[in-house]
């Protein structure tokens, strides 16, 4: 029993321990620079697209290990359209709505071929990757288009002034609004987790021991408060963090508390049995890719806001970062397994590796080698874990 418990513990928390070790490694090798408040802020801002895209990619992977190779090109295309629309003096809410609608339509287009015509997702989205990259060049005519709307940039997290104002402080020293928000987040987290534990026990579900629950909540709360303090020591809450949290909270709820979430896991676990139970599996596939198109468009919004421009080269490699974050965060290459918190861990691990190696001025080519090896290690771990269970 003890050996089985230890084995299960390491399977569940391996990537979290890996994240901690990697942070400690780069803290030593960069002489603590990676933990500077400004670098913590940059880690969030520079990897916003990873959090958003990986959340959508998780839903595709849950359906059976399927992926979407087109998301980087869709980010570029929707960003190009948005920048061009705003360049014509259209107000930014209309431009953002246009980008999101285009993302949904792209998701519907690809979802139709995948779900109803049974084109393999790899092929359908590979075609989309080429097509929307080409359309991005057509829309931008090979040029860079600047984003002129300052309000758009502030709202979606680009530039130096894109932070939530310090309503509770005087704007100097520690940002009190940020600190209070972090404390409230910890209180809400503890209340929700304890409520879920009480409900699960009342229904007769298996729950973790009270001691392990308290330890887990203490560690997570400490991590939240530490990050909050770091942000408060710089400029406070970046507006892009609000969009990231909004996506994570919505999809965390969707995957764990809703019927569609249970269907996604069911399709990935056993598609044939799920279909025989009366669930429309084609619709589940379709919705997963429509959702991916929507989140790719949102990532396009955040990308052009941060870089205050649209270029034909934007989004290259974004799909690999999103896929890597999912698998590193514990999603199964076979589908049916994966969580939004796992995606957060995977995205953070990828971001820390990128930033740590950048601070150390490691050649970009070697950075790609390291990221590839980390991704391979995560998938190998998943395969070996399943073999051990069998």
Residue 230 CB neighbours (<10 A): 18
Q: Would you give the end-to-end CA distance of the chain in angstroms?
A: 17
Quick check: 295 and 56 in contact, CB under 8 A?
yes
pLDDT tens digits, 116-139: 999 999 999 999 999 999 999 999
Question: pLDDT tens digits, residue range 241-262?
Answer: 999 999 999 999 999 889 999 9
Q: Is 169 helix (H, G, I), strand (E, B) or coil?
A: coil
Nearest to 251 by CA among 13, 64, 29, 60: 60
Alpha-carbon distance of 222 to 187, in angstroms, equals 12
| pLDDT given at position 377 | 80
Q: What CA–CA distance (Å, rounded) separates 202 from 181?
A: 32
Within 10 A of 130 (CB to CB), how many other CB atoms are there?
Answer: 12
Instruction: Say what angle helices 71-87 and 281-307 make with each other, to 10 degrees.
Output: 50
Give the model's pLDDT for residue 1.
45
pLDDT, position 148: 85
At 3, list the tokens: 């050996």
**pTM for the model:** 0.91
Mean pLDDT by 10 residues, the chain (390 residues): 57 77 88 88 89 95 92 95 90 93 96 95 94 94 89 81 82 85 93 88 80 85 92 89 94 92 91 89 95 96 92 90 88 87 89 88 84 80 66
Token pair, residue 307, equals 């870089």
**HSE, side-chain direction, 13 A CA sphere, residue 70:** 33
Q: Are 80 and 74 in contact (CB under 8 A)?
A: no
- For residue 386, the model assigns a pLDDT of 62
Type and span of the H or E element at 25: helix 2-29
Q: Is 197 helix (H, G, I), strand (E, B) or coil?
A: helix
Residue 350 pLDDT:
87
Round to whole Å and give the CA distance between 335 and 366. 30
């Amino acid at each position: 029993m003890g050996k089985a418990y230890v084995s299960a513990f390491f399977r569940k928390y391996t990537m979290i321990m890996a994240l901690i070790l990697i942070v400690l490694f780069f803290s030593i090798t960069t002489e603590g620079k990676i933990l500077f408040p400004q670098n913590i802020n940059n880690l969030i801002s520079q990897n916003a697209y990873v959090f958003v895209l990986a959340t959508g990619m998780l839903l595709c992977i849950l359906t059976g290990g399927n992926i979407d190779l087109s998301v980087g090109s869709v980010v570029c295309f929707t960003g190009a359209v948005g920048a061009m629309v705003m360049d014509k003096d259209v107000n930014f809410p209309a431009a953002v709505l246009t980008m999101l609608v285009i993302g949904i339509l792209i998701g519907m287009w690809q979802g139709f071929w995948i779900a109803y015509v049974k084109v393999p997702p790899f092929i359908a989205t590979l075609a989309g990757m080429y097509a929307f990259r080409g359309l991005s060049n057509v829309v931008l005519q090979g040029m860079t288009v600047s984003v002129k709307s300052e309000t758009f940039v502030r709202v979606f997290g680009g530039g130096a002034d894109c932070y939530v104002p310090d309503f509770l402080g005087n704007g100097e020293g520690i940002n009190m609004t940020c600190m209070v928000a972090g404390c409230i987040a910890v209180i809400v987290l503890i209340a929700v987790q304890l409520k879920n534990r009480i409900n699960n026990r009342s229904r007769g579900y298996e729950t973790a021991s009270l001691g392990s629950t308290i330890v887990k909540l203490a560690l997570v709360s400490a991590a939240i408060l530490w990050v909050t303090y770091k942000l408060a020591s710089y400029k406070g809450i970046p507006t892009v963090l609000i969009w990231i949290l909004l996506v994570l909270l919505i999809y965390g709820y969707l995957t764990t508390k809703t019927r569609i979430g249970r269907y996604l896991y069911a399709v990935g676990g056993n598609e044939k049995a799920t279909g025989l139970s009366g669930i429309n599996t084609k619709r589940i596939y379709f919705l997963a890719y429509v959702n991916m198109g929507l989140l790719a468009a949102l990532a396009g919004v955040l990308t052009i806001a941060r870089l205050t421009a649209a270029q034909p080269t934007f989004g290259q490699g974004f799909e690999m970062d999103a896929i890597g974050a999912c698998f590193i965060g514990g999603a199964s290459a076979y589908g049916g397994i994966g969580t939004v918190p796992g995606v957060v861990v995977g995205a953070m691990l990828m971001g820390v590796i990128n930033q740590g190696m950048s601070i150390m001025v490691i050649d970009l080519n070697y950075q790609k080698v390291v990221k590839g090896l980390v991704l391979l290690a995560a998938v190998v771990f998943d395969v070996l874990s399943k073999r051990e269970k069998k």
